[in-house]
Every structure is written in structure tokens, then in C-alpha cells.
Homo-oligomer: A and B are copies of this chain.
């Protein structure tokens, strides 16, 4: 418990022969500091291994040096990837990352948004990953004074990064059509509470658009709600085969749904692409393992990009900087689960 004697701004001031307020300004690269002073301060600080007390900085009017990342759940593959990438960017900029998981529970979200003032006390900004927000929550966030950026959200008054879900779905479906399939099913939909439903809707629109381009119509019997879980995909695929009709190819709204579909096939003694071609969206870590053809989305990049946008805002708070949406590229990854229709 050897409390090292803390190096304070006073020490730096003494060593550099300047006042603490000049030191304070120099350290933060504020204007109105001569180059000579700047250099002296930097030297002294380096020599002393000085690091400002974050508590004191905060109290005195400043910032916390921390950013909160808010996720629906920390355990899902997508979020773990995005969080790690964002954490790296934040850490490299000197920010601490406070992880807040909503644990897929609305009560947790409600509590958090009910005390945004408390949050604002502990962090400078928040990074939201696929959190479904109502207009009241958006307004509260705006009023909190927190800097905000997000991933995978929609129509939101701050910087957002994501993919073009409709286009990705259109291309995935197009791949199937290009292989000669025309009797297509879609495992669509999201469970309420999980991720943004907006994503699911856009993907479904892409599916329909692709069919329309080929002058095909959607058979409502072949579009089922599957949520975004393995279990949901399994249930939907089983329902499809047993109570609807076996299509020649299936577009799964996300890879985990596709996994479930694969599982349902196996349980019935069938397999892809032998009995049906299957394509997903995501390029989940396991997709390679399972040979799933999919539209890959850059998950880590989305997290890192959004983190950078947030840091930007934090650094030039107050400057005019209209919020923008950034769409990242998706890419078709062909593997074994799809093949040309015979």
C-alpha cells in the first residue's frame, strides 16, 4: 500500500519556474503560451513523470477523460468485436472506456436514461452500439451535454456509422438469383429489444428489391420472422420446411439465423448446399468454420470509426460540426453453403 508521493502541478511549476496556471495551459496546448514556456513545461513534466489528476481536472471544471460504450449485451459476437476496436481507439487517445451493458433488459436501459445527469458526471461522451432508442431518450441524450456517436442506428441527431443494410441484402439476394435460384425464402425479423428493428426492415426491403429487379414476386409463405438468434433461425427453418415449402435457396437476415437454419437442416437429415443454398449477412467468426456464404460487414471498423468520430467531437466541442452518417462497405464472401441451381 505504498502510496507514491504524488507529483502535482505545483512540482512541475516549481521545476519549470512558471506558475501553475501557465503550466496548466501549456499542458493542454491552449493558446497564449510562449514556445519557450511550452518547452520548459513539457520538459519538466516529462522529467517528473507528471500526469494530471483526473479527479482534480474534472472537479475544476473539466472533463472526465472517460467515455461510456453502451451495448445491448456485451456477450454477442458483434458487440464484443466492436467494443474491443472502439476501446483500442479510445485508449490510444488517452480515454478510459466505461462499459455499460443493457443486458438486453429494458429496465436497465430505462434506469440508465433516467439518470443521464449522473452518467454525464462520470464520462465526457457515449458511444451507442445498436441501441434502440425512443424519441424521449434521444432528447434526453441531447440535453445531457454528453457527446454522442453511434453504430448501426438510424435517423439519429449525431454521428453514426453503419452499413447500407438494404443494399447488402439486395446483393446477398442477388447472389442467389445469379446462381439460378428463383424460389427464395427469407428468414427475417428481429426479436423486440434486441438490436434495432430498423436493420431487419432494411434487409427485408433489399430482399424484395432484388426479387423485383428480376421480375419475381415475394411469396409471403416463404418470409418468416426468425429473430436474430441461432434458436430463432432453427425454429423458423423447421417451420419453413415442415409447414410451408422447401425453397431452392434461403436468405438469412444474419449469420446466426443462418446457423440455426443449418442446424434445422441437419436435424432433418438435410444439408446445404445439397438440398438448399443458404446465405447470411455478417461474416460471424463461426461462418468461416461452417462454410457459410455471407455478406461480410466490417464490425471492428465500425466500432473504431465511431470511436474516432466521438473523439473528434470531444476535442473540438462547440465548433460547428453537423452530424453525419457514414456507411461502410460490405463484401460478398462465397463459401460452401451456396451453389448453382441444378
Chain A contacts to B: CB under 8 angstroms:
1-4, 6, 49, 51, 53-59, 64-66, 69, 73-75, 80-81, 83-84, 87-88, 91, 96-101, 103, 115, 117-118, 121-122, 143, 145, 230, 259, 263, 286, 289
How many angstroms between the C-alpha atoms of A4 and B55 in the bound complex? Answer: 20
- Asked whether A83 and B99 contact (CB < 8 A) given A4-B117, A121-B51, A145-B2, the answer is yes
How many angstroms between the C-alpha atoms of A96 and B80 in the bound complex? Answer: 18
Chain B: CB-nearest residue to A64: B55
- Asked whether A99 and B122 contact (CB < 8 A) given A75-B80, A145-B3, the answer is no
Tell whether, in the assembled complex, residue B97 and residue A99 are in contact, meaning their CB atoms are under 8 Å apart. Answer: yes
Tell whether, in the assembled complex, residue A118 and residue B84 are in contact, meaning their CB atoms are under 8 Å apart. Answer: no
Give chain B residues whose Cβ lies under 8 Å from the Cβ of A100.
87, 91, 97
How many angstroms between the C-alpha atoms of A286 and B289 in the bound complex? Answer: 11
Partner of A59, one of B56, B286, B289: B56
How many angstroms between the C-alpha atoms of A87 and B118 in the bound complex? Answer: 18
Least CB distance, A55 to chain B, in whole angstroms:
4
How many angstroms between the C-alpha atoms of A220 and B258 in the bound complex? Answer: 41
Chain B: CB-nearest residue to A266: B291
Give chain B residues whose Cβ lies under 8 Å from the Cβ of A101.
84, 87-88, 91
Least CB distance, A256 to chain B, in whole angstroms:
10
Give chain B residues whose Cβ lies under 8 Å from the Cβ of A64.
55
Tell whether, in the assembled complex, residue B84 and residue A74 are in contact, meaning their CB atoms are under 8 Å apart. Answer: yes
- Asked whether A122 and B54 contact (CB < 8 A) given A74-B83, A74-B84, the answer is yes
Give chain B residues whose Cβ lies under 8 Å from the Cβ of A55.
54-59, 64, 121
Tell whether, in the assembled complex, residue A143 and residue B2 are in contact, meaning their CB atoms are under 8 Å apart. Answer: yes
Show 9 residue pairs from A and B whose CB-CB distance is below 8 angstroms, ordered by the A residue.
A6-B121, A51-B118, A54-B55, A54-B58, A75-B84, A80-B80, A87-B100, A87-B101, A263-B289
How many angstroms between the C-alpha atoms of A65 and B57 in the bound complex? Answer: 16
Give chain B residues whose Cβ lies under 8 Å from the Cβ of A83.
74, 99
Give chain B residues whose Cβ lies under 8 Å from the Cβ of A53.
59, 121
How many angstroms between the C-alpha atoms of A97 and B286 in the bound complex? Answer: 29
How many angstroms between the C-alpha atoms of A98 and B96 in the bound complex? Answer: 7
Give chain B residues whose Cβ lies under 8 Å from the Cβ of A58.
54-55
Give chain B residues whose Cβ lies under 8 Å from the Cβ of A73.
84
Give chain B residues whose Cβ lies under 8 Å from the Cβ of A74.
80, 83-84, 87
Contacts A3-B145, A54-B55, A91-B101 given; 11 further ones with Cβ under 8 A?
A: A2-B145, A54-B122, A55-B56, A66-B122, A74-B83, A74-B84, A75-B84, A84-B103, A87-B101, A97-B99, A263-B289
Query: Which among A57, A74, A96 has the greatest number of chain B C-beta atoms within 10 A?
Result: A74
Chain B: CB-nearest residue to A4: B117
- Asked whether A87 and B75 contact (CB < 8 A) given A54-B121, A55-B121, A121-B51, the answer is no
Tell whether, in the assembled complex, residue B97 and residue A289 are in contact, meaning their CB atoms are under 8 Å apart. Answer: no
How many angstroms between the C-alpha atoms of A122 and B57 in the bound complex? Answer: 12
How many angstroms between the C-alpha atoms of A303 and B3 in the bound complex? Answer: 28
Least CB distance, A6 to chain B, in whole angstroms:
8
Chain B: CB-nearest residue to A286: B286
